Amino acid sequence: MSLFGAEEAEPKAVPAKDMAAVVPKVPKVLPEYDHTKLFERLDRSDFRRSFHLGVQDRAYIDKKGMDAIQLHAEDFVEKRLAPAFPHNDGSQTPMRGHPVFRAQHATGCCCRGCFEKWHHIPMGRPLTEKEQEYAVSVLMSWIRKELK
C-alpha cells in the first residue's frame, strides 16, 4: 500500500474527548505585583544585572508573541522550580537558549537556592500556586522591562 494512499490523505476528525488538547492554551491572569524594590536590589548585583535579552531572544519573542513566552515561563516554573526538590537543582536553568532562561538568572528565579535568597521563599517544599504566579510575574516583568 502506498504511503500516500487515500487513507493517509483523509484528515481524521478529532474525537470530542481529545478536543481539550487542541484548544490553544491561554496564559494565566497574574495578580498585580509591584516589583520595583526587587528590581532595585537585583540591579545592585553585578552578576544579576549582567543578564540581558540577546538578539536571538528578541527575535524569538517577536516570532512567538508574549502569550507564548508566558506559557513557557509558567511551564518552566511549574516543572523546574516548583517541585520541593527540582531535578538538578542549582543547574537546571541554562544560561542561554530561551528568553525565560535569561530572565530566570537575571531575577534569581533560576533555582531554589537563588529563589530563597532573592525572594525569601524557602527551599525543600513545593511552591504554591500563588508563589508560582509570583515567579512568572517577576520573569515577565523583567522581559517587558528589557523590551522597553
Which residues of this chain interact with Zn ion, rule CB under 5 A?
A: 110-111, 114
Q: Which is nearer to Zn ion, 33 or 47 (CB)?
A: 47
Q: At 41, is the secondary structure helix, strand, or coil?
A: helix
Nearer Cβ to Zn ion (65/97): 97
Query: Is 71 or 110 the residue whose CB approaches Zn ion more closely?
Result: 110
Judged by beta carbon, residue 73 or residue 111, the one nearer Zn ion is 111
What is d(CA 93, CA 35) in angstroms, rounded to the nearest whole number?
22
As measured in angstroms, the least distance from the Cβ of 26 to Zn ion is: 29
Contact assessment for residue 129 and residue 140, using Cβ atoms and an 8 Å cutoff: no
Question: How is residue 23 written as a grid cell?
Answer: 484548544
| Min CB(86)–Zn ion separation in Å | 11
Q: Which residue is nearest to Zn ion (CB)?
A: 114
DSSP character for 109? Answer: -
Spatial CB neighbours of 110, under 8 Å, sequence gap ≥ 6: 92, 93, 101, 104
- Residue 134 CB, nearest approach to Zn ion (Å): 16
Q: Judge contact between 83 and 115, C-beta under 8 A.
A: no
CB of 18 to Zn ion, least distance (A): 38
